[in-house]
Structure 1
Amino acid sequence: MAALALQQTLLIARAGHHPLAAIGVASSHYSTDVKPLKNPHTASLKRGTGGRSSYNGIVATVLGASGFIGRYVCNKLGKNGTQLIIPYRGDAYAVRRLKLVGDLGQVLFFPYDLRDEDSLRKVMQYSNVVINLIGRDWETKNFKFEDVNIKGAATVARIAREMGVEKLIHISALNAAEKPKPLILKEGSKFLSTKWHGEMAVRNEFPDAIIFRPSDVYGHEDRFLRYYSHLWRRTLRFMPLWKKGEETIKQPLAVSDLSNAIYNAILDPDAPGKVFQAVGPKRYQLGELVDWFHRVMRKDENWGYQRIDLRWDIPFQWRITFTEKICPSWPVAYLGWDKIERDHVTDVVERGVPTLEDLGVVLTHMEDQVPWELRPYLATAYYDEEVGEFQPPEPPRVVV
């Protein structure tokens, strides 16, 4: 404790906020590379040599931690010595497994509600970083897109500013636009529209917020690879895509790359106020990409797979509407008209806007990761194959 107190005193002195500065402890050597401590007590100082059993000085509130991306972000933060505050809605058992992402006592859970501002203040009052991963791919009875993507995002940003949070990270969506160009729906994707308005609301409340715009994110328990491999997404063995997916270009991203980028953004002093486009290293035609998924699963033309035009598959259109009406809170295979709409929006990467590579992330290639992710969905998953019995599937063609 004496050593930590001395270290604290010297750091404050070097910053010019202590009487020791008057006797020469704070020299010009320290004036440019040492910042004053905002919380001058020993609990704020880094401890350990780095890693899971250390403390890196970051106390992060992760909203939406129980979701697909949230689990990876918590794991990345926890194993680097971050103290995590994980708010949860509903049953605590849904987030209990996240206790293992950090060392003993480093992961704390609190119940909250996005509409209860007092609960949000409680989970942010001790944090210097807030990560907003709250999202919903479809509307429910209790939460519409506006409630989550606009009102909820603005509330989180405002309270984070009131609580003195140093860095706010907000997750938006690639292709978010004020008025998305309609393809199937008359007014375009409501999800993408509200994401754009959510960005504006967050920027208005917290001007230095760090915003990520991810494309389709894939990984374990995702809603991209498993969405296209689900039998409810097909009509028997026919895969309906809008115009056969030949006019849609996608640039999917590995979820591990996104979690690495979020962690790097916390450490980057130049990241506040910036927008990062979170996209993968290669661009693919959607139809070719889905064909490749089925080649990986050994469900190619010989199996009976065929890609067709969704415009003429009337039974599948009925199925989409039926799924939305019967299963509004959790649609089978995440199937809904708004998702079908944004599935066929081409990913646009704007020039001059930073990407994850600007945060030092080495991007993962789909060809290296997807075969492992789709292995449980093989047509011959329980067949004990011989080495070399099946030829590796032809990789997808890249769009230049």
Structure 2
Amino acid sequence: MLASTSSRLRAGSAPLRRGLHDLVTTPSKKPIISYGPPGRSAVTGHVVTVFGCTGFLGRYLVSKLARAGTQVIVPYRDDYEMRHLKVMGDLGQVLPLEWDIRNEQQIAECLRHSDTVYNLVGREYETKNFDYASVHSTGAQRIAKVASENGVSRLIHVSHLNASSSSTSAFYRTKAEGEELVKSAFPNATIVRPAALFGYEDKLLNSIARWPIWFKLNHGRTEIRPVHVMDVAQALTNLLSIPDAPQLINLPGPSKVSYAYLLGLVASVSYNPPSKAPTLPKSVATALTRISQSVWWPTICPDEVERRYMNDVDTPGNWDAVGVEPDEIETFAIKYLRQYRSAENYVRPVVLPTSRVVEF
């Protein structure tokens, strides 16, 4: 009886066979064997570590990797920050490990079984335990060094579009220093430079809706190139299957917009009247942010005030190299800003600004 049932099951379903095309050998001689139809329960054969997985970009990258059947190591510092990541993949495919960026042994434990490592670690503001240099520069170098020593085949390091060693912003300056240190420790590392990200939990559209006064600095004339977080996450995911990608990849948004335009966009989509808050002088804004930083976690830090006066660099993107076409910010504005509408205006149609030139 059991034998006949087994025979019918075998006859009614096509056998899963593996061929030579399912086997990939990495430079470190680690075999990568894919198995099963594409999807959550498949096995791509890749084992990936995502440092910075609990951040804004990291959670979307983990989701895309795990949904394709990749085994993902998610290093964390706080249990509560990583719990939502475990359900993004099939059982046993998302593996959390505790780590500290200053502990090389813990870093090695997180990546010793991985063929690819993503470094998304970054800080928007400095604290008494972690300044920009310890995270963006020496921390990135430490991850690259340990990855090289443990035979990791590929390191993908996420920096910023405006990274520059001569920048007046410590954030951008340490990002550039980190790139050089990473390349010295891991010469074949891929450097990815996205612009400012927007999405559900972003610090762009949400911050403009909540704290418009901080985006009126420089009279809103500063121009940026915002990019959708899902596009960047997809680009990083695609790099897993593009071994010959460029070593430097710039990912700016498709359009250049000013903060004044974004303030108008938020007001028009949320149906809240434009903010009448005054434009603060740079010296006053810096002093206020220093006070807030010394009392509690800052809404905005002094270095971010400096960045509010800096335009995004005008450099072409490498979207074709990663197989992604970036979306305009207006396409998703209503999706992320509807929560700021009142009940009276919740279902009103969207009326976008007619021009991207907005002046105070």
Q: TM-score, normalised by structure 1?
A: 0.79
Out of 145, 149, 160, the position equivalent to 1:158 is 145
From 229, 233, 239, give the equivalent of 2:209.
Answer: 229
- Match of residue 232 from structure 2: 258
Preserved contact between residue 212 and residue 278 of structure 1 (Cα < 8 Å): yes
Q: Which residue in the other structure is 1:367 paired with?
A: 330
Q: CA deviation at 1:35?
A: 8.0
1:83 corresponds to 2:71: yes
Match of 2:244 among 270, 275, 284: 270
Question: 305, 312, 319: which is aligned to 1:356?
Answer: 319
Which deviations, in whole Å up to 9, do the C-alpha atoms of 1:254-280 show, x marking residues without a partner?
A: 000000100111211212x61111111
Q: How many angstroms apart in 2 are the aligned matches of 1:396 and 1:75?
A: 36
Residues 359 and 398 of structure 1, relative CA distance in 2, 3 Å threshold: farther
Alpha-carbon distance, 1:393 to partner:
3.0
* Alignment match, 1:116: 103
Q: Residue 183 of structure 1 corresponds to which residue in structure 2?
A: none
Given candidates 84, 89, 92, the residue that maps to 1:105 is 92
Provide the identity percentage: 34
CA distance in 2: counterparts of 1:249 and 1:36, whole angstroms: 42
Q: CA deviation at 1:189?
A: 0.7
SS at match of 1:66: coil
Conserved? CA contact 2:122–2:136, under 8 Å? yes
Task: Check the 8 A contact 2:217/2:308 in 1, yes or no.
Answer: no
Q: 1:38 and 2:29 equivalent? A: yes
Aligned to 1:48: 36
Q: Structure 1's 240 and 198: CA in aligned 2 closer, same or farther, altered over 3 A? A: closer
Q: Please point out which of 314, 322, 340 is paired with 2:305.
A: 340
Q: Against the structure 1 CA distance between its residues 398 and 172, is the aligned structure 2 distance closer, same or farther, given a 3 Å change threshold?
A: farther
Q: Is residue 217–residue 282 contact of structure 2 (8 Å, CA) maintained in 1?
A: no
Amino acid at match of 2:178: G
Which structure's CA Rg is the greater one?
A: 1
Q: Unmatched 5+ residue regions in structure 1?
A: 13-32, 181-187
**Any conservation in 2 of the 1:86–1:107 contact (CA below 8 Å)?**
yes
Mapping for residues 241-320 of structure 1, pairs under 5 Å: 241-246=216-221, 248-271=222-245, 274-301=247-274, 305-306=275-276, 308-311=278-281, 314=284, 316-320=285-289
Q: Which residue of the partner structure matches residue 206 of structure 1? A: 186
TM-score, scaled relative to structure 2: 0.88
Call closer, same or farther: CA 1:133–1:37 in 2, change over 3 Å: closer
Asked whether the 8 Å contact 2:28–2:153 carries over to 1, the reply is: no
Distance in 1 between residues matched to 2:183 and 2:35, nearest whole Å: 34
Q: 1:350 deviation in Å?
A: 2.7
Shift of 1:7: 5.2
1:310-343: CA deviations, max 9, x gaps? 32794x554322211111xx32x3x111112113
Report the Cα offset of residue 100 of structure 1: 1.1
* Equivalent position of 1:23 in the other structure: none
Structure 1 counterpart of 2:192, which letter? F
- In 2, the alpha carbon distance for the partners of 1:53 and 1:372 equals 30
| Structure 2: 5+ residue stretches without partners | 1-14
Q: How many residues align?
A: 344
Q: Secondary structure at the match of 1:374?
A: helix
Query: 1:11, 1:158 → 2: CA distance?
Result: 30
